[in-house]
Homo-oligomer: A and B are copies of this chain.
Amino acid sequence: MFSENNAAAGVTFPRGFKAAGVKAGIKKSGNLDVAMIYTEKTAAIAGVFTKNAVAAAPVLVSKEVVKTGTAHAIVANAGCANACTGQTGLDNAHKMAAIAAAELGCDASDVCVGSTGIIGVNLPMDKMEAGIKAAAAELSENGSVNAGNAIITTDTYSKACSFAKKIGGKEVRFGAIAKGSGMIQPNMATMLCYITTDANISSKLLQKALSDIVEVSFNMISVDGDMSTNDTVLVMANGEAGNEEIIEGTADYDIFYDALKSICQELSKRIAADGEGATKFLTINVNGTKSFEDAKTIAMSVAKSPLVKTAFFGEDPNWGRVICAVGYAGVPMEPEKTVISFGGIPVYANGLGAEFDEDALKNVMSEHDIVIDIEMGLGDASATVWSCDFSYEYVKINGEYHT
């Protein structure tokens, strides 16, 4: 479903979308740093943004665009977050949209903007203007890879995917590019995720689907527990697939919802796996609680524990730290009913450490992908959180950088 070829197609796989990524000199490395995604046909738009009270200027501007329900383009840069930049920052975010709109022949209110990078520094608007113009000139159906690379910061690779589903007898396509990492390296913010689809769906229903899906995808990952000032997920749906409009409560909606959820969960996993300095990808399943919230709280408590994260870095099957993090999560638990397994091997049960095959467990701990199952025995609800370990490299990336 997420083959390499499709990943390359990314946001331009759905019909009618073009993309580009150019070098505007904003990243110190000189790499690609301005991305653009464009649909000539007006798209329904939906968005979910950071809940951080210190929201960056591009977040404020994009929220206004999402309120209108329609958009033609997204323009984004890496290397400068345009956060904590006051009125100048807000003016610059509006200028980004206006410059792009003039090039594309649409209204500025149809252009979402995004920025990721250093906090507290103003965008170099001369470079931005040249970059946006260059991106507009380079828009193509092969531009998704460059666009994906233009929004990454400390990510080790760009995350992208695309695939198709039959909806209402038509082939409906989906594509996405995303960046994550940890969450904010050297003041480098942020999770950014841009999804395109040629489905025909109203902005209202698109927003409902996205808001629900974010709760079981992007809100279920934890790299270091920090939430950036710039986190943004946007979906544009331009209707080019020619399907009948997708209506809530229908089988078509269910297919659409599942497709969008697949994309969001897949990208969430990749963002967690590519956390700063990560050497392990941890899937934490909590089952048997009375509510989803309880299960999520327990899974997040385990995912955020530095002791758990360093233990997995050291490949140590340290179930004591896991049961400890379950115990202080602050939700109902009964130690005697709780069962903890690593890679399917029970390591804690009946209030005690379990007997296990040491060689088999050693193999589990040496894998890159490790599944932690926590069975609470108190109900029917469950939740899954994706996380990574804590390594020397994390401390290095985040401790040795100087602002």
Contacts and interface: CB of A to CB of B under 8 A. Distances in A.
Interface of A: 50-55, 83-86, 118-120, 183-184, 186-187, 224-229, 304-307, 310-311, 313-314, 316-321, 323-328, 330, 332-335, 348, 350-353, 390-392, 394-396, 398-403
Given A226-B325, A305-B226, A316 B86 contact: no
Contact of A314 (B84, B226, B317, B400): B400
Contacts of A396: 392
Q: Decide if the interface of chain A is mainly helix, strand, loop or mixed.
A: loop
Contact of A318 (B318, B326, B403): B403
Given A314-B401, A398-B310, A321 B53 contact: no
Which 8 pairs between the two chains have the least Cβ-Cβ distance? A119-B320, A54-B327, A314-B399, A310-B398, A120-B353, A227-B328, A52-B327, A310-B399
A51 B348 CA distance: 21
Given A319-B120, A325-B226, A335-B84, A314 B53 contact: no
Contacts of A119: 320, 323-324
A51 B333 CA distance: 12
A86 B351 contact: yes
Contacts of A307: 183-184, 224, 226, 398
Given A318-B187, A403-B318, A52 B392 contact: no
Given A120-B320, A306-B225, A327 B187 contact: no
Contacts of A86: 350-352
B226 A352 contact: no
Contact of A352 (B84, B229, B394): B84
Contacts of A391: 395, 399
A313 B399 contact: yes
A401 B85 CA distance: 44
Nearest to A335: B54
A377 to B, nearest CB: 13
A324 B228 CA distance: 7
Nearest to A183: B307
A324 B226 CA distance: 8
User: What is the copy number of this chain in the assembly?
Assistant: 2
Contacts of A229: 324, 327
Given A84-B323, A326-B54, A399 B226 contact: no
A54 B390 contact: no
Contacts of A398: 306-307, 310-311, 314
6 contacts: A83-B320, A120-B319, A120-B320, A227-B327, A314-B400, A391-B395
B401 A320 contact: no
Given A310-B395, A314-B399, 6 more contacts: A53-B335, A84-B323, A84-B335, A224-B305, A225-B305, A306-B394
A267 to B, nearest CB: 21
A318 to B, nearest CB: 5
Contacts of A84: 320, 323, 335, 348, 351-353
B403 A399 contact: no
B403 A323 contact: no
A89 to B, nearest CB: 9
A403 B320 contact: yes
A196 B32 CA distance: 65
A310 B83 contact: no
Given A327-B52, A327-B54, A351-B86, A321 B395 contact: no
Nearest to A306: B224
A227 B228 CA distance: 26
Given A314-B398, A320-B187, A399-B390, A226 B353 contact: no
Contacts of A226: 305-307, 321, 324-325, 328
Query: Which of the listed residues A54, A227, A311, A321 has the most CB atoms from chain B within 10 Å of its own CB?
Result: A54
